[in-house]
Amino acid sequence: METTDYMILKPFKNLALSNFSDPKTESEMNEALEKVAAEFGKEYDIVIGGKRYKSEKKIKSINPSKIDEIVGITNSANEELAELAVQTALKTFEEWSRTPAWKRAEYLLKTAEILRKKRYEFVATMVYEVGKNWIEADADFAEAVDFLEFYAREMLRYASEQPLVRIPTEKNELRYIPLGVGAIIPPWNFPLAILVGMTSSAIVTGNTVVLKPASDSTVIAAKFFEALEEAGLPSGVVNFLPGSGALAGEYLVKHPKIRFISFTGSKEVGLRIHELAAKPQPGQIWIKRTILEMGGKDAVVVDETADLEAAAEGIVASAFGFQGQKCSAGSRAIIVKDVYDEVVEKILEKASKITIGNVKYKANWLGPVINRGAFEKIKGYIKIGKNEGTLIYGGNTKEELGGYFIEPTIFKDVPGNARIAQEEIFGPVLAIIKAEDFENALKIANSTEYGLTGSLYSKSRERIERAKEEFHVGNLYFNRKCTGALVGVHPFGGFNMSGTDSKAGGRDYLGLFLQAKAISEKIL
């Protein structure tokens, strides 16, 4: 094996977040916002095997903060181009799968370096395209870089000699080999981080992919694809195929040459993908693998021993960060009755300080929801909530601001089995539930069909230890918010209807894109 820089890679370290209170950093961000705005309306192509394609149908990416602004226009693929993308990926797989692991990892590291140099351009694009505030968009960017750096190192670990029980009569080894062609279907809510994580994990393991970005975030996806090209990634390893959800959910998922589907999104779509993938198609010779990260109805539990100020702060941050549009969002606050009223007052106090408006401006913390469909759906849930609990804050829309703005909305005295306490709303709506005691609170927390994240605020060691055993979620936090998982630190993925517990950003994750081959040779 030829010598390369990977042999002296430093241990993985999470990328530090930007400090926007620093005047220089704030100035860089404002310059990036101007630069990205100057590119509004630019058209982005479908790219298959290095060749660019246009189509009659286009996807318009709208700024949800100011809906008369078009951030970019992307060509939308049809089934003919989808077929070409699959066949191109299949052909490219022959060579890419035999590319040494260190070389594949090197492409990820080069891409990470390109992203770092264009940091605020990527951050600004997310501010405009999906309505993330500066801090949320910067954290999304940092996570994307972390995925590239972490998975590059992980691939080298998977490619190294694996520990086996040794016997004197044979030489044995275990190799991890790639699966084949994958369909990558990322969401719009972490439009860079999750897209980068899903794509990079699949290709660094030697697979080739058809990348179908979310229709609400095609511009940031196109910019990432450009970074891959700049890094020199061979054509056809990633095929950029913007298009309708139906194209991905039906055509790609059912295709007999697709070996795996990596999806992040709603429970309904995830289950449909799982169902379609389970049925073998004519010419299919494998069982398709699905890597699914779906919804959540996550709870922040507060008992009477907790630091109530910290609990209220964690509840507000978990519920309303990025307008509650996170599968990890703490959309339920379950508070024991002894401190219920006091915590509710503290939540109201903190919610009242939230600034709402166009997130192009640093001062605004709460931005718009993603699109008209989400806007109407959330309004519907607020109407339902008025019949299920007591509205104590918000509940109004702010369309006069120019976008899809909804106030942070808080209901108290919500029954644990209410719709707004059971169904994923994906918006800035918090249901506060009163529990008799810690035992009852834990029971309510586990009462949904989901099991993604959860948080407990308590000073009781006994209760913390009990929650470790009984609070049934994939990511459990104590005395901190239930959002903000870090790559390598908090491997992310949940139980039940929250997905396949795939643990993105963890040591097990790359194994989902590989298959193990045991090789034995008798010693003569």
Question: What is the set of active-site residues?
Answer: 293, 327
DSSP percent split of the chain into helix, strand, coil, nearest 5: 40, 20, 35
How many CB atoms sit inside 10 A of residue 134's CB? 26
270 touches 253 (CB < 8 A): no
Q: How far is it, in rounded angstroms, from Cα 375 to Cα 324?
A: 12
155 touches 182 (CB < 8 A): no
How many CB atoms sit inside 10 A of residue 422's CB? 16
User: Dmax over Cα atoms in the chain, in whole Å?
Assistant: 82
Q: How far is it, in rounded angstroms, from Cα 478 to Cα 482?
A: 9
Q: How many CA atoms lie within 13 A of 208 on its CB side?
A: 26
Q: How far is it, in rounded angstroms, from Cα 293 to Cα 494?
A: 7
Residue 280: φ, ψ to 5° = -65, 140
DSSP H helices in 356-458: 372-388, 419-422, 438-445
- For 322-357, b/e burial (b = at least 16 CB within 10 A) is bbbbbbbbbbbbbbbeebbebbbebbeebbeebebb
